[in-house]
Amino acid sequence: MLEKPVSAERLIAAIRSSCTAQDRATILALGREAAAFMKRLLDGQPVDVEQGVEKRNRYGRLLAYLWLADGSMANVTIVREGYAQPFTKSPNVRYAALLRQSAGQASREGSL
């Protein structure tokens, strides 16, 4: 079970799409939208936390894969639904191919 609020965590390989091409207000709005999606996805249900090889980023945030009770990975869901794009950085690359595949699916379905 996740002990901290989701906002205090950083999902491995999931960053809000097209943040680098937007102004600050747009980036903040997209971030709020993605956070609301994750809250709906995770609210009230247990999750298993799988830490990456590198457990924390330079800001001290936990780097994690979140597994839901149904066996799905929250990281994949946020990418597949178009709220994030894959961003992997060695050594945390265990599910990089799966996340890229999810982004391709989102692109084909118009989520990105």
pLDDT for the residue numbered 104 = 84
Domains in the chain: boundaries: 6-106
pLDDT, tens only, 26-53: 888 888 888 899 899 998 889 999 998 9
User: pLDDT band for position 2 (50/70/90)?
Assistant: very low
Q: Which CATH class is domain 6-106?
A: mainly beta
Q: Distance (Å, rounded) from C-alpha 105 to C-alpha 51?
A: 25
**Residues 31/89/69/77 CA torsion (nearest 10 deg):** 50
